[in-house]
Amino acid sequence: MDRRKRPFRWTAYALMLLSTIAILLLCVCMGSVNIPLADTLTVIWNTLWGRPIPQGMSRSIILLVRLPRVLSVALCGVSLSLSGAAMQGLLRNPLADGSTLGVSSGASLGAILAIAFGLTIPGVSYGGAMAMAMLFAFLSLVFILTFAYRLDHSLATNTIILIGVIFTMFAHSIISLIITFSGDKVKSIMFWTMGSLAGSNYQNALALLITLVLCGALILSSSRELNALAIGEDNARYIGVDVKRVKLRILIASSALIGVCVSVGGTIGFVGLVIPHMTRMLVGPNHRRLLTASMFGGAVFLMLADLAGRVLLSPLEIPIGVITSLIGSAVFVYIFYHTRKAR
Amino acid sequence: MLSIQNLTVNHGTLTALSDVSVSIQAGQWLMIAGANGAGKSTFVHAIAQSVPYQGVIRYQRRDLKTMRPNEIAREIAFLSQRHQVNYAFTVEEVVTLGRFAHRQGFFSATDSQGERKVHAALEMTGMLALKDQSMLTLSGGEVQRTFLAQVFAQDPNLIILDEPTNHLDLKYQKQTFELIQEWITQPNRAAVSVVHDIGMARAFGTHAMLLERGKMIAYGDNRTVLSRNNLMNAYGMDVEGWMRTILAQWEA
Amino acid sequence: MKKNKALPILLTIVLLVAQFSGVAMGETNETIYLTDMKGREIVLEAPATRIVVLTPSDCEILYAIGAGETLVGRGEYCDYPADVNEIPVVQSGAQTNVEQIIALQPQVVIMSTMAQTVEQTEAMEAAGIKVVVNDAVDIEGVYQAISVIGAVTGMNAEADALIERMVNTFGEVAHKTSGESGKTIYFEVSPLQWGLWTAGSGTFMDELASMLGLTNAFADVQSWGEISQEQVLMRDPDYIVTISMYYGEGPTPVEEIVSREGWQDLKAVKNSAVINVDSNEISRPGPRLMDAVNTLYQIIYEPETLAPAA
């Protein structure tokens, strides 16, 4: 049996989990402020075992600034690459992703509408923005795909990318319009158009985790269906996949993941494009391996991108969206070139 | 096995199929012929439940509309002849997907016969040696055989073949038909296929149906249906005479 | 907002040149010769009586020297003093609309470097409108801008008086706080949620800090920049000044800062030294910098004179 066909063995999972945790620790230990490794480990160790921690700057920075941020970054990475991998399978298109399809812009628009019109959910900070971001991510996805199917039933790369670009421009023009009319709240709104996880706290990480557990379960339990859809929608129907239901399930889960990431960190482009693609080159297209491997890959990639943003120009920060877009657009061109050449 | 009553399909204002009734029994291989746009593919899509239709399609007395996709897939397999795979799945991965409908349970799906059936299907189609190859590296004929193996792995009682993309596939078409002919010899099996080539239809089919602009103009025993007169009606030309002329040119 | 490092040096040279060659020429036979802050030489037949001002700070200067009645059009962000609200609005910044400005038939347009393209300037000059560019990046620059506006309106005496008043105010504060207090101040331009931005060296806020006898905690940052949260925690400033606006819903900017996780241990938070300052006062290169300095001085050095906070 070829090793690429089966789900990973537990040893492979353990290895991926360990390296992700190692990177997580590295990202907590390194930062704009130098804290001795021993201090960092003491703080983490004592917290894990519930021992008292000496109060002070190190404790604040590690437990209240770095750890929640690194956790949020990792969870965003997992969510974005999982949704990217699922959409690329569903649409049989290696360039599909929240940012290329315009779903992220749709989610930003939703969040901005919530802020501009003061929609809130009592008790949950930014709950209104989060709910609206998810809703708008889903609506945008449905709109984009309906339109794409009408234009070109085979959902060719060019069609999807073109519609994604147009939809992004459309969403941004609406956003500009709202900014024009909302005067005072302009600044608060501008945030949703740039990606930043700098101020992430434990509530953000918790919101990401809950969404990830729910939507991740939906997507991971559909890996066989995603394999079938990635091979062909008609073929999937013929072998007994309930295509409509699976599509709806994947679309809802993907847009919820994108929505929550946008509401926590703004638009962080291209993660969902780059990671599943690189992972596919390593472990093959079978979603039983691809999905889990992409999740770990996404966490590691985004944590390292964030670390670079924090450390390179210290004390200044490079926004994480800038770093991912730089890497992402290069990979995008590479994939686009190769898929076009293959035709 | 399959009974179709008063099947009508409308594409907007256009009637693609009108009031077609046929029934397929075990051991039969029904050939569907007719000119382009006669409604052959629509007929297949209606059975596959991928277009809305009026009328009733029953499998073993059960209305297909009341069956779930995986219930249908355990009984009826469809072989499309148009494939475009974008990702580097292996042959075996594609064939194994044929077992999709047989898996029980949610997370820990079990399929006791799965591995054996997949192996047999790969062997039958001559794809066993290529099972670890990427789909992206296969020739057109190999891709076709992979999906045929998927159909065999699915272990249905009825196989429905959509029409081949073009006449250049004649060699693959013959290979496919020979494998189906072997498969159908087992008890309680039947096949339906859409054909371009009347010669193939005569060589392999037991029954035939001729469609013209959505209407069934002839249905019954293969030899009787594919008569010179019927074909003239269906294609608007003397197919048999033309084929004889062509053949004569070959022999000359 | 981001500026080239070479720019302050360049501007200093420009200012020096301007000081000796331009404004000093003053008025003879009513004809006014002046050099604006981009080194462009401008000749006016007579003091301008119809002026369009695009930048809020220049608008404030115009009123402060008593030339408010010459204003016939203002940039959309000009909102002080309250009298300006009756003046027609024109678009400014990236949206600067030459047609709107020409329609108001001004003799002079006063704007900043960011406000217009070369083509737009040429179009206005072709329409007979003199374009004066003011671009103060430090307090010296503010004095320069005041002189230029005084020259344009023929109110040189009033302009000099205003400069003197500012020099005195700042000098007085600097004198009262003389000697380094050794305390640090962190200016928060943009709150955590949108990424922390601060004002580093070469900004008004940095100048105000030294005037107040304080050290800018982020003096190593050139002009404006996004900084790491953990840097603020490590540098543990004695004072935090936020210029965020409060829109009447949710926590106030100060409440938001003191409630941030991990910020409770900061000296500034423990000593209730988190201050919200009107962003327009502290960030506009105009006469209200005096108000900003006085407010900060009072809060930092004479808190007992303030009414107890609610």
Confidence of residue C13 (pLDDT cuts 50, 70, 90): low
Chain A interface disruption, residue of B79, B97, B106, most A CBs within 10 A: B97
User: How many residue contacts between A and C have a Cβ separation below 8 Å?
Assistant: 87
B90 vs A2: CB contact, 8 Å cut-off? yes
Residues in A 88-107 with any Cβ partner in B closer than 8 A: 92-94
A243 vs B94: CB contact, 8 Å cut-off? no
Question: pLDDT value at position C157?
Answer: 93
Structure tokens of A118? 């003061």
Residues of A in contact with C195 (CB under 8 A): 194, 196, 198-199, 317, 319
Q: Is B127 on the interface with A (CB under 8 A)?
A: no
Asked if C284 contacts C270 with a C-beta cutoff of 8 angstroms, the reply is no
Judged by DSSP in three states, B9 sits in strand
Q: In which element (H, E) is residue C59 found?
A: helix C56-64
Chain C: closest CA distance from residue A232 (Å) = 43
C231 vs A32: CB contact, 8 Å cut-off? yes
B88 vs A227: CB contact, 8 Å cut-off? no
For each successive 10 residues of chain A (343 residues), what is the average pLDDT?
61 92 91 83 83 75 89 96 95 86 91 82 75 92 86 73 89 85 62 71 92 96 93 90 90 92 87 92 92 96 93 86 87 78 56
**Phi, psi (degrees; rounded to nearest 5) at C187:** -95, 120
Q: In which element (H, E) is residue C246 found?
A: none
Structure tokens of B83? 């494939």
The residue of chain A with its CA nearest to that of B91 is A5
- CA–CA distance, C59 with C54 (Å, rounded to integer): 8
- Residue pLDDT, tens place only, B26-40: 999 999 988 887 888
A240 vs B147: CB contact, 8 Å cut-off? no
Angle between helices C156-176 and C139-153 (to 10 degrees): 160
Strands C274-276 and C41-44: unpaired
pLDDT at C25 over 50: no
Asked if A91 contacts A336 with a C-beta cutoff of 8 angstroms, the reply is no
Which region holds residue C210: left if phi is over 0, alpha if psi is between -120 and 50, else beta?
alpha
Chain A: closest CA distance from residue C8 (Å) = 21
Of A2, A241, A284, the CB nearest to B100: A241
Chain A: closest CA distance from residue C107 (Å) = 30
Residues of A in contact with B107 (CB under 8 A): 221
- CA–CA distance, A155 with C306 (Å, rounded to integer): 67
Chain A interface disruption, residue of B93, B108, B130, B165, most A CBs within 10 A: B93
Q: Is B111 on the interface with A (CB under 8 A)?
A: no
Residues of B in contact with A87 (CB under 8 A): none
Confidence of residue B165 (pLDDT cuts 50, 70, 90): low
Q: What percent of chain B has pLDDT over 70?
A: 94
My answer on whether omega of the bond before C81 falls inside 30° of 0, hence cis, is: yes
- Helix locations, chain B, DSSP H: 40-47, 69-75, 91-96, 114-124, 140-154, 170-183, 198-204, 222-225, 228-235, 239-251
Chain C interface disruption, residue of A47, A57, A192, A322, most C CBs within 10 A: A57
Q: Is B104 on the interface with A (CB under 8 A)?
A: no
Chain A: closest CA distance from residue C116 (Å) = 20
- Residue pLDDT, tens place only, C155-182: 999 999 999 999 999 999 988 887 667 8
Of A5, A240, A286, the CB nearest to B72: A240
Of A94, A230, A240, the CB nearest to B70: A240
pLDDT at C10 over 60: no
Tell me the average pLDDT of chain C.
84
Three-class SS string for chain A? CCCCCCCCCHHHHHHHHHHHHHHHHHHHHCCCCCCCHHHHHHHHHHHHCCCCCCCCHHHHHHHHHHHHHHHHHHHHHHHHHHHHHHHHHHCCCCCCCHHHHCHHHHHHHHHHHHHHCCCCECCECCHHHHHHHHHHHHHHHHHHHHHHHHHCCCCCHHHHHHHHHHHHHHHHHHHHHHHHHHHHHHHHHHHHHCCCCCCCCHHHHHHHHHHHHHHHHHHHCCHHHHHHHHHCHHHHHHCCCCHHHHHHHHHHHHHHHHHHHHHHHCCCCCHHHHHHHHHHHHHCCCHHHHHHHHHHHHHHHHHHHHHHHHHCCCCECCCHHHHHHHHHHHHHHHHHHHHHHHC
C194 vs A316: CB contact, 8 Å cut-off? no
Judged by DSSP in three states, B57 sits in strand
A4 vs B48: CB contact, 8 Å cut-off? no
Question: Which CATH number applies to B2-251?
Answer: 3.40.50.300
Q: Is B246 on the interface with A (CB under 8 A)?
A: no
C194 vs A60: CB contact, 8 Å cut-off? no
Closest CA to A35 of A62, A55, A16: A62
Q: What percent of chain C has pLDDT over 90?
A: 38
Chain B interface disruption, residue of A239, A278, A289, most B CBs within 10 A: A239
- Residue pLDDT, tens place only, C58-106: 999 999 999 989 999 998 888 888 888 889 888 877 777 888 888 889 9
b (16+ CB within 10 A) / e for A221-240: ebbbbbbbbbbbbbbbbbbb
Asked if C299 contacts C292 with a C-beta cutoff of 8 angstroms, the reply is no
Residues of B in contact with A335 (CB under 8 A): none
The residue of chain A with its CA nearest to that of C192 is A199
Q: Which residue bears the tokens 């991990």? A: C262
Neighbours of chain A (3+ CB pairs under 8 A): B, C
Residues of A in contact with C234 (CB under 8 A): 33, 57, 61
Q: Is B137 on the interface with A (CB under 8 A)?
A: no
pLDDT at B108 over 70: no
- Residue pLDDT, tens place only, B198-224: 888 888 999 999 888 888 888 988 888
Q: Write down all domains in chain A, each with its CATH number in brackets.
A: 80-341 (1.10.3470.10)
Of A224, A238, A241, the CB nearest to B78: A238
Chain A: closest CA distance from residue C201 (Å) = 14
Chain B: closest CA distance from residue A46 (Å) = 38
Say what the pTM is: 0.82
The A-side interface with C (CB below 8 A) comprises 31-33, 55-57, 60-61, 63-66, 68-69, 118, 184-185, 187-188, 190-191, 194, 196, 198-199, 201-202, 310, 314-317, 319
Structure tokens of B72? 């249908």
Strands C27-28 and C31-35: antiparallel
Question: pLDDT value at position C148?
Answer: 93
Confidence of residue C26 (pLDDT cuts 50, 70, 90): very low
pLDDT at B168 over 80: no
Asked if C231 contacts A314 with a C-beta cutoff of 8 angstroms, the reply is yes
Chain A: closest CA distance from residue C198 (Å) = 10
- Helix locations, B1-113, DSSP H: 40-47, 69-75, 91-96
Judged by DSSP in three states, C187 sits in strand
Residues of C in contact with A56 (CB under 8 A): 265
ipTM: 0.87
Cα distances from A289 to residues A18, B36, C113, in angstroms, run: 17, 43, 56
The residue of chain C with its CA nearest to that of A309 is C228
The residue of chain A with its CA nearest to that of C218 is A315
A314 vs C262: CB contact, 8 Å cut-off? no
Q: Which amino acid is at A48?
A: L
Strands C184-190 and C89-90: unpaired
Q: Which amino acid is at C139?
A: I
Q: Which residue bears the tokens 């704007």? A: C111
Chain C: closest CA distance from residue A60 (Å) = 5
Residues of B in contact with A238 (CB under 8 A): 48, 73, 77-80
A198 vs C229: CB contact, 8 Å cut-off? yes
Question: pLDDT value at position C106?
Answer: 92
First to last CA, chain C: 35
Of B69, B89, B96, the CB nearest to A240: B69
- CA–CA distance, C227 with C233 (Å, rounded to integer): 11
